[in-house]
Amino acid sequence: MTFTTLGVNPPDLLTADDLLAVALLDIAWRPEVVRLLLGREGAQFSRMLAGISTDLDLWRATDADLAGVDVLWDALLDIPGVGTATAAKVLARKRPRLCPVTDKVVIRAAGLPGLTYEVLRYLLSDPQARADVEALRPPDAAEASLLRILDVAIWVSHGDSREAKRARMAGRYRAA
C-alpha cells in the first residue's frame, strides 16, 4: 500500500514522492534521471500526464485512450536509464486504474509479451474476473486500484523473489 499512498501524488505532476514510491518496487534511480524528471523535463511530462484520463479503468479504455499512455511510455523509455519496468511503475503510480505494473513477472504470467495491457484489459472486461480479483483485496488495501490488487496477486503467485515465496508460504494470498 505504500506505493499507492506515499506522500503526495498530484495527477499531472511527477514528484519526488512518485520516484520514491517507484523505488519501493525495486527500482534504482540514476541521479541524472531524477534531475531530468523533476527538473528541466518536468513540464513536458506534466503535459503528457494531463492528456491521460485520471478516472478511467483499463477494461473500459479504448485504443484511443491508451494512445496517450503510449506517448508518455515512449518518452520515458527515451530517457537513458529508464527501462520498461521503471516506465510501467511510474505509469502505474500516476494512473493506477488505467496502467498496470508490467514487469517481467506480470509479462511472463500474461503469456503474450508485448500484449500485456491487452491481455489484462481483456481479462478484466469480464465482470466475474473483476469480482474474483476484488475478492483477493485485503482489508487494509481499500485505497488500492483493482489493477494493483491484480498485480500483487500475480507477483505473489508467479514471482521468484524471496518476498513472493514468503507470502505464498504464509498463505496470505491465493494463487491467481
Q: Give the Å distances, CA to CA, from 105 to 66, 100, 169.
A: 22, 12, 18
Instruction: Tell me how crowded residue 71 is: count the other CB atoms within 10 A of its CB.
Output: 14
CA angle at 14 for the pair 27 and 95, rounded to the nearest 5° = 80
Assess whether pLDDT exceeds 80 at residue 166.
no
Instruction: Tell me how crowded residue 6 is: count the other CB atoms within 10 A of its CB.
Output: 16
Where does residue 130 fall: left (phi above 0), alpha (psi -120 to 50 degrees), or beta otherwise? alpha
175 burial type by CB count under 10 A (0-12 exposed, 13-18 middle, 19+ buried): exposed
Lowest mean pLDDT among 6-10, 21-25, 76-80, 162-166: 162-166
9 pLDDT band, cuts 50/70/90, is very high
Per-residue pLDDT tens for 10-66? 999 999 999 999 999 889 999 999 999 999 788 999 999 999 999 999 999 999 999
- CA dist 90 and 19 (Å) reads 8
Q: Give the Å distances, CA to CA, from 121 to 64, 111, 112.
A: 14, 14, 13
**pTM, whole model, 2 decimals?**
0.86
* Cα torsion 149, 112, 93, 32: sign: positive
Q: What is the mean pLDDT of the segment spanning 91-116?
A: 87
Assess whether pLDDT exceeds 70 at residue 114.
yes
Q: What is the pLDDT of residue 44?
A: 93
Q: What is the mean pLDDT of the segment spanning 76-90?
A: 95
Assess whether pLDDT exceeds 50 at residue 174.
no
172 pLDDT band, cuts 50/70/90, is low
Instruction: Tell me how crowded residue 163 is: count the other CB atoms within 10 A of its CB.
Output: 11
Q: What cell numbers appear for 146 in the block? A: 483493482
Per-residue pLDDT tens for 117-150? 899 999 999 999 999 999 999 998 888 999 999 9
User: By C-alpha distance, which of 154, 90, 144 is closest to 116?
Assistant: 154
Q: Residue 119 corresponds to which amino acid?
A: V
Is the distance from CB of 14 to CB of 38 less than 8 angstroms? yes
